C-alpha cells in the first residue's frame, strides 16, 4: 500500500489543471495518503522543488486557470542520468508514485519513470485535444469557449467594415479547436492540417462570398503552423472585395477560469488517477471515452490512431 504520492504539471498549461491538482490532493488525503506538489514539472522533480500539499494549499483553486505548481519543459529528461536524479529526489522524500498532468511528451516521461520503479499515471492536460486516446483533454472546452467569444466579437466589427477576419487558433497540428470553433461560430472557411491549405481556392471562395452571395463579411479560422496569416490577409485585400484582417489569438486561449465541463473532467480524472495508484497500477493514462472515465497503457495511448474528423467536417460543409 503506497503512502506518499506526488503530482506535477508539465508542458503547456491549460485551464482545469488546478482542478485536477485539487482532485488528486483531496482524494489522496481522504484516502490516507500524503500528497506532495512537484513544482515546475520534471525540472522541479530533478532539482527537488517538492513540497507537501494540504487542504489549505489547494483551497479555492478549482476556479483558477493555469497551474499553481508551475510548468517547465525539460528535454534532458529523456537522458537516464537526469531521470535517476529525479528518482533520488522522490525516494529521499518517500514518494512512491506520481500523477503527471500534461501532453504526450509528459506521458513519455511518466512511462520512463514507471519502468524505473516509480508508478506514474498520466492525465491529459492540454487545450489542443491532441491526445488520441481521449475524446476530450482538460482545457479544450474552455479554450474553445475563449475562441468562440473572440470570434463573435470580431464578427461584429467585420460586419461593419466589409472585412474578412482571418483568425489563427492554437492546436499544435491538431485541427479540433479550429473545426469545433468553425461550427460553433458559423465560420465561412476552416483550414486545418486535415483540410490542407490551398491559397488560391480560398481566395476564389472568398470572392464568391463577396460577389455572388453578397456577404457583408467573412470569417476564416486557421490552425496554427499552417501559414502566415498576416501575409495571407494582405492577399485577401489585394485579390478579393474584402478588407483582410488577421488576428492571432495566441496564449489568451490558455488562460481564464476553467468552464464547468473542464472542472468536472479534471475532478473525475484526478479521482481515477489516485484509485489506479492505490491499486499498484502505473504506466497508464486516464481518458474519457463515450462519456466514461477509463484508462489505457501509455504505450498503447501514444500510438492510437486519431478518430476521423470526417463527420464534423461534413457537418461544417453542410452548414456553410
Over the stretch 184-240, which tens digit does the pLDDT of each residue have?
A: 999 999 999 999 999 999 999 999 999 999 999 999 999 999 999 999 999 999 999
**Res 159: pLDDT:** 87
Over the stretch 244-285, which tens digit does the pLDDT of each residue have?
A: 999 999 999 999 999 999 999 999 999 999 999 999 999 999
Question: Three-state SS for 31?
Answer: coil
Distance CA 238, CA 256 (A): 37
Q: Is 170 annotated as a binding residue?
A: yes
**Res 266: pLDDT:** 98
Marked catalytic residue, from 13, 128, 130, 176? 128
Handedness of CA 10, 16, 20, 26 (dihedral sign): positive
Q: Is 230 annotated as a binding residue?
A: no
Q: Is 217 annotated as a binding residue?
A: yes
Question: Three-state SS for 124?
Answer: strand
Q: Is 155 annotated as a binding residue?
A: yes
Residue linked to cell 498503447: 300
| 8 A C-beta contact, residue 182 and residue 316 | yes
- The answer to whether 275 is a known catalytic residue is no
**Res 308: pLDDT:** 87
Beta strands 292-297 and 119-124, pairing class: unpaired
Kindly list the structural domains of the chain, giving each domain's residue range(s) and its CATH number in brackets, ordered by start.
4-139+258-304 (3.40.50.450), 140-255 (3.40.50.460)
pTM equals 0.96
| Residues in the chain, total | 320
C-alpha cell at 264: 468536472
Over the stretch 97-141, which tens digit does the pLDDT of each residue have?
A: 999 999 999 999 999 999 999 999 999 999 999 999 999 999 999
**Res 281: pLDDT:** 98
Percent of the chain with pLDDT over 70: 100
Does pLDDT of 320 surpass 90? Answer: no
Distance CA 89, CA 279 (A): 23
**Res 179: pLDDT:** 97
Least confident of 48-52, 158-162, 259-263: 158-162
Q: Is 172 annotated as a binding residue?
A: yes
- Please give the distance of CA 241 from its chain centroid, rounded to a whole number: 37
Q: What is the mean pLDDT of residues 74-91?
A: 96
Does pLDDT of 160 surpass 90? Answer: no
Distance CA 125, CA 104 (A): 9
**Res 33: pLDDT:** 98
Does pLDDT of 173 surpass 90? Answer: no
Does pLDDT of 1 surpass 90? Answer: no
| 8 A C-beta contact, residue 22 and residue 54 | no
Q: Quick one: which of 40, 113, 108 has its CA closest to 73?
A: 40
**Res 317: pLDDT:** 93
C-alpha cell at 107: 506521458
Confidence label for 307 from pLDDT (cuts 50, 70 and 90): confident
Amino acid at each position: 500500500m503506497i503512502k506518499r504520492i506526488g503530482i506535477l504539471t508539465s508542458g503547456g498549461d491549460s485551464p482545469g489543471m488546478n482542478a485536477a491538482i485539487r482532485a488528486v490532493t483531496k482524494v489522496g488525503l481522504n484516502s490516507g495518503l500524503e500528497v506532495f506538489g512537484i513544482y515546475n514539472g520534471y525540472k522541479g522533480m530533478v532539482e527537488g522543488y517538492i513540497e507537501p500539499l494540504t487542504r489549505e494549499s489547494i483551497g479555492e483553486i478549482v476556479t483558477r486557470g493555469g497551474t499553481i505548481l508551475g510548468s517547465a519543459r525539460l528535454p534532458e529528461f529523456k537522458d537516464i542520468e537526469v531521470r535517476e536524479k529525479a528518482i533520488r529526489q522522490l525516494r529521499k522524500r518517500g514518494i512512491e508514485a506520481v500523477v503527471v498532468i500534461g501532453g504526450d511528451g509528459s506521458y513519455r516521461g511518466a512511462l520512463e519513470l514507471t519502468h524505473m520503479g516509480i508508478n506514474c499515471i498520466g492525465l491529459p492536460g492540454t487545450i489542443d485535444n491532441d491526445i488520441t486516446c481521449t475524446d476530450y483533454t482538460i482545457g479544450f472546452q474552455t479554450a474553445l469557449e475563449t475562441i468562440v467569444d473572440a470570434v463573435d466579437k470580431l464578427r461584429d466589427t467585420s460586419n461593419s467594415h466589409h472585412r474578412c477576419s482571418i483568425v489563427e487558433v492554437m492546436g499544435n497540428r491538431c485541427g479540433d479547436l479550429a473545426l469545433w470553433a468553425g461550427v460553433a461560430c458559423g465560420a465561412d472557411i476552416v483550414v486545418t492540417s486535415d483540410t490542407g491549405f490551398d491559397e488560391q481556392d480560398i481566395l476564389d471562395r472568398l470572392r464568391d462570398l463577396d460577389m455572388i452571395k453578397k456577404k457583408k463579411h467573412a470569417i476564416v479560422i486557421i490552425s496554427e503552423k499552417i501559414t502566415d496569416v498576416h501575409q495571407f490577409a494582405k492577399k485577401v485585400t489585394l485579390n478579393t472585395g474584402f478588407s483582410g484582417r488577421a488576428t492571432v489569438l495566441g496564449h489568451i486561449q490558455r488562460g481564464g477560469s476553467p468552464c464547468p465541463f473542464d472542472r468536472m473532467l479534471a475532478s473525475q480524472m484526478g479521482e481515477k488517477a489516485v484509485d489506479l495508484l492505490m491499486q499498484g497500477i502505473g504506466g497508464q493514462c486516464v481518458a474519457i471515452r463515450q462519456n466514461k472515465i477509463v484508462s489505457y497503457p501509455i504505450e498503447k495511448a501514444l500510438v492510437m490512431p486519431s478518430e476521423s474528423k470526417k463527420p464534423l467536417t461534413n457537418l461544417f460543409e453542410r452548414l456553410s
